[in-house]
Amino acid sequence: MGGELRYMEERPVDDPREPAKGIEQAKDLLRSFETRAKRRRRPLYGIGVSFPGAVDPRTGDCLLWAESGWKRFPLARSLMEAMDIPVLLEEDVRAEALGEFWFGEGQGVDSLVLLKLARGVGAGVVLEQRPYRGVNGLAGEVGHITVDPYGDRCSCGRVGCLETKVSVPAVLRKARELLKKNPDSPLAREELSLESIYRAAREGEKVAREVLEQLVAFTKVALEIVVHAYDPDIIVLSGAVVEAEGADILLNNVQLGDFPVEVRVDVRVSSFGKHRGIIGAAASVLHRLIVDPQAIEG
Amino acid sequence: MGGELRYMEERPVDDPREPAKGIEQAKDLLRSFETRAKRRRRPLYGIGVSFPGAVDPRTGDCLLWAESGWKRFPLARSLMEAMDIPVLLEEDVRAEALGEFWFGEGQGVDSLVLLKLARGVGAGVVLEQRPYRGVNGLAGEVGHITVDPYGDRCSCGRVGCLETKVSVPAVLRKARELLKKNPDSPLAREELSLESIYRAAREGEKVAREVLEQLVAFTKVALEIVVHAYDPDIIVLSGAVVEAEGADILLNNVQLGDFPVEVRVDVRVSSFGKHRGIIGAAASVLHRLIVDPQAIEG
């Protein structure tokens, strides 16, 4: 299977805290794509939307988009109004998993889990060649599994979630915490980032080594959670934590292998870069057209 | 759907450490069932086996049965030799999940997870009405997810697995540990068991309360792992930890509810009692006959 990005247009949203306004802007963008396709006599089969918040898998309602303060909102329905073609809404990590399944690292496999370690942590799950969403749309929310009952408080309100260990903010917070106790560290003299931490760790700097050590341990925990829950053919890692410059020092140190039985699992890093959202959205349209056509009716 | 236990026969195994001997005894038992069915002119559609170790989902080989020291062994193939009807092998927790799906608490649902808190801890996963096994047969091995990186060593060799918190041995170990520091506890005067701990906790005894408190916290973690991984319609709890006399004090104290979105999930305790293995094995035959008939050929 192949695909090509033919045209792209980016528009910032005026006020991300206002769902109704954002939707109007999005509709405007969708209509412009539709018009453009008609003018060029190119068939447009559907519009895929990769959405960064929680979605009700039955209704396509937005349930929560914490970052922008959205609560329940009829997202799919609102986007669909006034469109002549289907609009397919998928949560971003799930869409990205479908992107890997159709166009990326997971082509031809039966089961794939995309594990994203970014600002948040979550998994997009494709089992037996279908995206798996769960009853409430929570399947794959592995970032909120408790991995340290004595750990830090998570943005979700609970303590010691995986996200408090392997997300970008978690890594930076841990580094800052250690730098307070080690103000003479050379790391304290530069702007703190994943790149600077990975670089310093490679040079053997103490604080960075300690941050890396914890990150290695919990990245291993994260991968083992995926294996113990889904046992997929392939785990595709994505997100800044594994894609930042120098992240190979993390990946080279994560050793999977303490399973009671021999485990075949292919662990790779996504190669999609910043267009992963667009590719994932397109893949979700393709997936429903080919695999799940009845889902496209509504 | 209904079912009835028509006849049962139990035989102890001479030497559980010898797979070949155990298999010969099992075959003998299987043949006696076949003969009995023929004599009574009752059709026998298949023989279901609920096996308490790890099974390769493709070959039906035993991969590991730690308790009896079994390693890789061609289990399904050995049982199938000399039988005229299909022999279906399923890991015990997975078979029990199918039992609940066909005859028990989960009838009519789309997705069910049986979470067993017994000597070991594991989940049997039925998604979209099919048992989900994973590539290596590890799907549902949630007992070996790390939930406390500073915790006790697990029988699997790693540290802080869920099984070190919510299994029967884990609860008893925790109680013994606390009793060492509190030798005057009334709990120290009786034989330690789940029942005695639950009873003492109800009476407000300090050590038992502390054991219960930890068990409540990690049972909540276990349920949340199931929701975050599979987000099923129903979670059926089974095993001595939740079925011992007085276990309602545990279940009444586990409050699910810290999810970022509203979660519908039905949590129930299995009502099968000690015949759950037999019911599960029968359900796995029924399941393949009705849902997955091609699987019965091989």
pLDDT in tens, B61-74: 999 888 888 999 99
Partners of B144 on chain A (C-beta within 8 Å) are: 224, 228, 259-260
- How many Å from the N-terminal Cα to the C-terminal Cα in chain A? 27
CA distance B289 to B280: 14
CA distance A161 to A154: 6
Interface of B with A in 264-293 (CB under 8 A): 264-265
Number of Cβ pairs < 8 A linking chain A and chain B: 147
Instruction: Tell whether B126 lies on the interface with A, counting CB pairs under 8 A.
Output: no
**% of chain B beyond a pLDDT of 90:** 68
Residue type at position A106? G
Q: Report residue B247 CA to chain centroid gap.
A: 17
Helix pair angle (A92-103, A276-290), 10° resolution? 70
What is the arithmetic mean of pLDDT over B93-111? 95
C-alpha distances in Å from residue B36, one per residue of A139, A181, B7, B40, B275: 46, 76, 10, 6, 21
pLDDT of A2: 67
Which pLDDT band holds residue B84 (cuts at 50, 70, 90)? confident
A2 burial level (CB within 10 Å; 0-12, 13-18, 19+): exposed
Facing B263 at nearest CB: one of A136, A150, A263: A136
CA distance B90 to B99: 11
Residues A166, A167, A170, A174: what is their CA dihedral angle, to the nearest 10 degrees? Answer: 50
Verify whether the Cβ–Cβ distance A138 to B263 is below 8 Å.
yes
pLDDT(B157) > 70: yes
Residue A150's closest chain B neighbor by CA? Answer: B148
Domains, chain B: 19-96+275-296 (3.30.420.40), 109-271 (3.30.420.40)
pLDDT of A294: 66
Verify whether the Cβ–Cβ distance B138 to A66 is below 8 Å.
no
Residue A230's closest chain B neighbor by CA? Answer: B139
What is the arithmetic mean of pLDDT over A206-216? 98
Interface of A with B in 40-59 (CB under 8 A): 54
Instruction: Tell whether B108 lies on the interface with A, counting CB pairs under 8 A.
Output: no
CA distance B98 to B130: 8
Q: Report residue A267 CA to chain centroid gap.
A: 16
CA distance B257 to B59: 41
C-alpha distances in Å from residue B269, one per residue of A89, A136, B150, B161, B266: 36, 21, 30, 23, 10
Partners of B135 on chain A (C-beta within 8 Å) are: 110-111, 231-233, 264-265
Kind of pairing between the strands at B266-269 and B87-91: unpaired
Q: What are the φ/ψ torsions at residue B62 (nearest 5 degrees)? A: -70, 130
3-state SS track over chain A: CCCCCCCCCCCCCCCCCCHHHHHHHHHHHHHHHHHHHHHCCCCCCCEEEEECCEECCCCCCEEEEHHHCECCECHHHHHHCCCCCCEEEEEHHHHHHHHHHHHCCCCCCCCEEEEEECCCEEEEEEECCEECCCCCCCCCCHHHCECCCCCCECCCCCECECHHHHCHHHHHHHHHHHHHHCCCCHHHHCCCCHHHHHHHHHCCCHHHHHHHHHHHHHHHHHHHHHHHHHCCCEEEEECHHHHCCCCHHHHCCCCCCCCCCCCCCEEEECCCHHHHHHHHHHHHHHHHHHCCHHHHCC
CA distance A163 to A196: 21
Give the pair of three-digit tokens for residue A264. 């075949």
More confident residue, A152 or B86: A152
Q: Please list, residue by residue across B28-41, b when 16 or more beta carbons sit within 10 angstroms of its beta carbon and e when fewer do.
A: eebeeebeebeeee
What is the arithmetic mean of pLDDT over A112-133? 96
Closest CA to B266 of B103, B102, B97, B112: B112
Mean pLDDT (chain B) is: 92
Instruction: Tell whether A261 lies on the interface with B, counting CB pairs under 8 A.
Output: yes
Partners of A137 on chain B (C-beta within 8 Å) are: 231, 261
Verify whether the Cβ–Cβ distance B138 to A233 is below 8 Å.
no
Instruction: Tell whether B225 lies on the interface with A, counting CB pairs under 8 A.
Output: yes
pLDDT of B236: 98
Question: Which of B128, B138, B164, B219 has the highest number of chain A CBs within 10 A, making it the mutation to test binding with A?
Answer: B138
Mean pLDDT (chain A) is: 92
Facing A231 at nearest CB: one of B138, B156, B217: B138
Partners of B111 on chain A (C-beta within 8 Å) are: 134-135
pLDDT(A298) > 60: no
pLDDT of B226: 98
ipTM value: 0.93
CA distance B135 to B142: 15
What is the arithmetic mean of pLDDT over B10-17? 84
Partners of A66 on chain B (C-beta within 8 Å) are: 260
pLDDT(A297) > 50: no
* B194 in Cβ contact with B244 (< 8 Å): yes
Q: pLDDT by residue (tens digit) across B211-225?
A: 999 999 999 999 999
Interface of B with A in 75-104 (CB under 8 A): none
Residue A266's closest chain B neighbor by CA? Answer: B135
pLDDT(B298) > 60: no
pLDDT of B297: 45
CB atoms within 10 A of CB A131: 25
- How many Å from the N-terminal Cα to the C-terminal Cα in chain B? 27
The vertex-B116 CA angle with B262 and A231, nearest 5°, equals 75
Which pLDDT band holds residue B260 (cuts at 50, 70, 90)? confident
